[in-house]
């Protein structure tokens, strides 16, 4: 099809299809809207970390010595419970609930094992 160059210019871009290479998928532009952002939790609560450290220390020191396990287990239990309450009431501003629950549960396990 011999079309003069001036005729192609007059038709405009919308009427002229771009050449398509064989074996190549057509190109589609990316969407104009931005992808959704996932809100990350805030910083980890310090009481939750302290609860986990106290629970681990209570288990390690409580096995050979006994009394430090009871003291540290009780401390870790109340620190963990307090951290969970603070994290739940912060509406996503504080993170580390899993750390706090782990310290709290480890402390309650250690505390109960010392009492039996």
Residue 110 located in a structural domain: yes
Q: Does residue 8 or residue 106 have the better pLDDT?
A: 106
Encoding tokens for residue 27? 């190109």
The number of folded domains in the chain is 1
Residue 32 located in a structural domain: no
Residue 23 located in a structural domain: no
CB atoms within 10 A of CB 74: 17
Q: Do 52 and 65 form a contact (C-beta atoms < 8 A)?
A: no
Kindly report, residue by residue over 83-93, the tens digit of the pLDDT: 999 999 988 78
DSSP summary character for residue 30: P
What are the Cα distances from residue 32, in Å, to 27, 38, 114? 15, 19, 62
Residue 77 located in a structural domain: yes
Residue 54 located in a structural domain: yes
pLDDT band with cut points at 50, 70 and 90 for residue 64: confident
Average pLDDT over residues 10-34: 66
What is the gyration radius of the CA atoms in the chain, in angstroms?
A: 32
Residue 2 located in a structural domain: no
Residue 15 located in a structural domain: no
Q: What is the pLDDT of residue 17?
A: 60
pLDDT band with cut points at 50, 70 and 90 for residue 71: confident
Q: Do 49 and 99 form a contact (C-beta atoms < 8 A)?
A: yes
DSSP summary character for residue 16: S
Geometric angle at alpha carbon 114, from 59 and 73, rounded to 5°: 50
Residue 39, classed as helix, strand or coil, is coil
What are the Cα distances from residue 47, in Å, to 52, 60, 71, 79, 99? 9, 20, 16, 6, 10
Average pLDDT, the chain: 76
Q: What is the pLDDT of residue 63?
A: 73
Range of the domain at 60: 43-115
Residue 27 located in a structural domain: no
Q: What is the pLDDT of residue 27?
A: 75
Encoding tokens for residue 93? 């501003």
């Amino acid at each position: 099809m011999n079309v003069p160059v001036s005729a192609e210019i007059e038709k405009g871009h919308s009427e002229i299809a771009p050449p398509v290479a064989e074996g190549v998928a057509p190109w589609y532009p990316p969407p104009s809207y931005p992808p959704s952002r996932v809100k990350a939790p805030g910083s980890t609560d310090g009481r939750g970390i302290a609860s986990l450290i106290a629970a681990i220390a209570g288990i390690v020191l409580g096995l050979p010595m006994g009394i430090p396990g009871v003291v540290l287990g009780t401390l870790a239990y109340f620190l963990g419970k307090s951290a969970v309450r603070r994290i739940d009431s912060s509406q996503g501003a504080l993170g580390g609930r899993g750390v706090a629950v782990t310290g709290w549960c480890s402390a309650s396990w250690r505390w109960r094992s010392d009492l039996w």
